[in-house]
Amino acid sequence: MAYPDYLNKGTASLDAANWEQSLGFADNAKLVIEDSFATLSALDRTADYTPTTGGIDYLWFLGGSPIVGADNGVLKVGFEGVTTSGGYTAAPNLIWATNGGVLHLEMLGAVANHDANLFNLIGKGDAYLHAGRVTDLFVGLTQFAKVLGSFDVASRLIVSGRGASVHLEYSADALPSLFVSQLGGSVLCERNVSTEIVQAGGSVEFADESTVPLWSVYGGTAKPLQGTVTQMDWYGGELDFSSTRRPVTITTLNNRSGKPIPSVPSNVTITSVGDDFSAILAGGGAVSL
């Protein structure tokens, strides 16, 4: 299908007959829901997708304040998989750019066959990702997003917006990389970050018992709540140990900020401190120099 298919204005049901081209969630569909204020229905699109090879290209919500799921279930959609089928990578597979509302999304099919390339959550409503996998997830503006444990972000979570807020629940699948831009946003991360956290602004709370290999802090507030950080490079912003829940170990803290290290409580251990400001400590817990 060469052109996007728009949901008819004022329509609540997602059945195929209610789209301009009457195709709905057919394989390779490009779907746009624009300026909807409806509580959408017919959310389970299991019958529309072809296991293994089928799925839509994208689904975009633009404007309006639609209610998509909750008491009336979750939106169940199959995307054409980028891992096995090549998938659709020319534009985001999901855009949630509304003025309000709520989205509950479950991706259909095995993640190896029906994963997506890019989700952009850049609205003012709430989005709940229940199950599935996407390569990159971008959250901006004043969006709240909750990534539940059965949803996997396979490469990068990028947060960029002063009012953006993301909660990542625990998952056996690690998040490789977390980036928070200078525009800010807040992140509560309860799953392993296997490669790096790069923070230029906002607030990042790390609350998993696992090990983060590298956490680079250029701005904002970094809050290790539990677990281990192999290397923390502190260039700017603030370190905050006041909310630590369980033991925290920072194997190497490279203080390049020109600031004293803040008070370290007894359940925080900094094994070694590097760089020019290594001896400037505000006191408290265990620090080995």
pLDDT (tens digit per residue) in 60-119: 999 999 999 987 689 999 998 887 777 899 999 999 999 999 999 999 988 777 799 999
The confidence score (pLDDT) of residue 284 equals: 45
| C-alpha dist (Å) from residue 217 to 12, 44, 171, 206, 286 | 45, 42, 24, 13, 21
d(CA 127, CA 61): 12
Q: What is the pTM of this model?
A: 0.92
Q: Tokens for 149, please give them.
A: 């444990």
pLDDT (tens digit per residue) in 117-162: 999 999 999 999 999 999 999 999 888 999 999 999 999 999 999 8
Q: Tokens for 185, please give them.
A: 């946003």
Which DSSP string do the residues of 234-260 spell out, in sequence order?
A: E-SSEE--TT--S-EEEEEEEE-SSSP
Question: What's the start-to-end Cα distance of the chain, in Å?
Answer: 64
- Strand partners for 252: 231, 272
- Give the chain's radius of gyration (CA, Å): 21
